[in-house]
Amino acid sequence: MRTFAEKQGIYIGAAVDAEHLGEKNYAEILKRQFNILATENALKFEEVHPKRNSYSFANADKIVAFAEANGMKVRGHTLVWHLQLPEWVADGNYSREEWKNILREHIKTVVGHYKGKIYAWDVVNEAINKDGSLRENVWLEKIGPEYIELAFRWAHEADPEALLFYNDYSIESLNPKSDAVYELVKGLIEKGVPIHGVGLQMHVSIDNLPNLQAVTSNIKRFNDLGLEVHITEMDVRLKLPPTQEDLTKQAEIYRDMLKVCLSSEKCTAFVIWGLTDRYSWIPEAFNGYGSALIFDESYKPKPAYYSLLETLKES
């Protein structure tokens, strides 16, 4: 896929876990098939900044080094989120200024550590509710709505060359949540806040399909603001055990979403949230579901892999 994606001028990628990079099949498939990697967990607050005065970059460093050695870009995920926070943050009791200092120092330290090495950052992740309101979280409660603007400004100060994204789920189609994200990023642009793109996570199932025309229209309106769009976390979960019909349908969904991306003006990356069904968050998060990725548990390519490959060849 990598060869054909590069001919199309698009990044094709996967989220990776540093601990699996030592597995030959895992590493070889990544090198051969993808030209961008996402840090699945290694840069989430809890893992990279476990104590107030200490950082743990080892796993993220491994991913970045692997990417550099193999001519790949890296998407850094994620600087500001309401989940996977260390206890000192989740249970913290600080003044508003201290909270701002905590977030500023975290962003500047993490982004600064990878200055020039990470192509794009998910700066703020999942800050909007389904109804379009701001999600109640520690940052909103302790700092206020401006935490979003501040996060982008601090990230840009730490690495002016990195692309900065807002990332969320269930915003691939046209709905109150994606409308609110549109208004949020439009407002940031109007304030001169450095934001370069929107990430559509695209966690879907064959029973819950986004409308292709709505996805196309949604990407266009973000593009019309001057923003890039990345598909950032795509997977298509199936009821277990999947039938051949399920796998065929899954392949069609992957294909259709890639086609929408390729046909859009500035949809510049298509990233799958994992590589192999052997390592996937889906079975734990969705009881009775799995088989969401394009390689099975034995690293064998599934119909979804071939559908992406053929689409990249044809376009």
Annotated active-site positions, please? 126, 233
Angstrom distance (rounded) from CA 303 to CA 245: 11
DSSP 65-120: HHHHHTT-EEEEEEEE-SSS--HHHHT----HHHHHHHHHHHHHHHHHHTTTT-SE
Taking the CA atoms of residue 45, residue 36, residue 283 and residue 287 in that order, the dihedral angle to the nearest 10 degrees is 80
Q: Which residue has the tokens 């080892």?
A: 58
Q: Which pair of structure tokens corresponds to residue 28?
A: 């070889």
**DSSP for residue 177:** H
Phi, psi of 119 (to 5 degrees): -70, -40
DSSP 17-78: -GGGTTSHHHHHHHHHH-SEEEESSTTSHHHH--BTTB---HHHHHHHHHHHHTT-EEEEEE
Q: Which residue has the tokens 């990776």?
A: 16
